[in-house]
Amino acid sequence: MFSRSAFNTLKQASKGASKRFSSTQAESAKTSTYNALMGISVATAIGSGAGLYYLNQNAAHANMEADGLHPADHPFPQKKLFGTFDHASIRRGFHVFKEVCSACHSLDLVHWRNLVDVAFTEEEVREMAAEFQYTDGPDDTGNMFERPGKLTDPIPPPYANEEAARAANAGALPPDLSLITKARHHGVDYIYSLLTGYCDPPAGVEVREGLNYNPYFPGGAIAMAQNIFDGVVEYEDGTPNTASQIAKDVVTFLNWAAEPELDDRKKIGIKALLLFSTLTAISLWAKRNRWHTMKTRKIVFNSPKNWNKPAPPKN
């Protein structure tokens, strides 16, 4: 039996060999084409990888004219994996927004009540809201009337409509700031850099009348003038009111306005990680426990003795 199978194998091998010998040239041509193609594709892959890496490492060489200057990475605590907002900063930031930015920008998605227990007590917010007059009604006689603001009112917009806003800002529309940190690339870093980045235009750059040079703004010329300077607001908690501090606080406030759920989201995230990793560990242990009889089982096959001997003759 053995000899026959060995003979067959030999026969097969010699057949294969004769076939190979007869077509050696065609085969080797095919192989070298294949090798060349492989070489080209590997070189292309490595080359494009290196190219992408180079471009990524040299973001500052991106088109500044169209994209604006790349903002630096600032260490805002809420940007860290488990970091949360600095609520004292949100409080100061709202103060800056109210004193400076709210002259031109609306904050449509934030209502007074949203500030309660975030940066202010309920009493403080009621007092702030009551400083503004809101149109309400109609009353029993069908007329609209004015009343002081309450917790359920939105933060009042500076202009009645877009046309009024444009008319007051030389045709440019100050965007609503509710979601601005989400609506711009590099969110907080960009807005911080924009607010503190005003400077004289470099030689050869002409800025149109009514626009201001800011390298972080795409195009370089922005309709908003610089409005954050050292000492532009006074802080009640004695924090130094430098321009960078003021910008940082208002940016923190705007980030909270856009992502009010951030603190809770991260807290729930930590709980979920703890819970699911425990559950994963338990289920892995339970699986081992349940399966150990199967996994540690050894199957032994004892072939019957004399299986290959001819059967004893029947009588």
Out of 103, 167, 199, 275, the residue judged to bind ligand HEC by CB under 6 A: 103
Out of 155, 250, 257, 258, the residue judged to bind ligand HEC by CB under 6 A: 250
Q: How far is the CB of 188 from ligand HEC (least distance, A)?
A: 10
Stretch that binds ligand HEC, among 43-51, 103-111, 146-154, 234-242 (CB under 6 A): 103-111
Closer CB to ligand HEC, 68 or 302, in the complex: 68
Closer CB to ligand HEC, 137 or 210, in the complex: 210
Q: Is 130 in the site for ligand HEC (CB under 6 A)?
A: no
Residues 16-75 that bind ligand HEC (CB under 6 A): none
Q: Is 224 in the site for ligand HEC (CB under 6 A)?
A: yes
Residues 265-284 that bind ligand HEC (CB under 6 A): none
Contact letters for ligand HEC, residues 171-210 (x by CB under 6 A)? -x-xx----x---x------x--xx---------------
Closer CB to ligand HEC, 125 or 180, in the complex: 180
Amino acid at 303: S
Out of 228, 233, 257, 258, the residue judged to bind ligand HEC by CB under 6 A: 228
Total residues contacting ligand HEC by CB under 6 A comes to 22
Binding site for ligand HEC (CB under 6 A): 96, 100-101, 103-105, 169, 172, 174-175, 180, 184, 191, 194-195, 217, 222-224, 227-228, 250
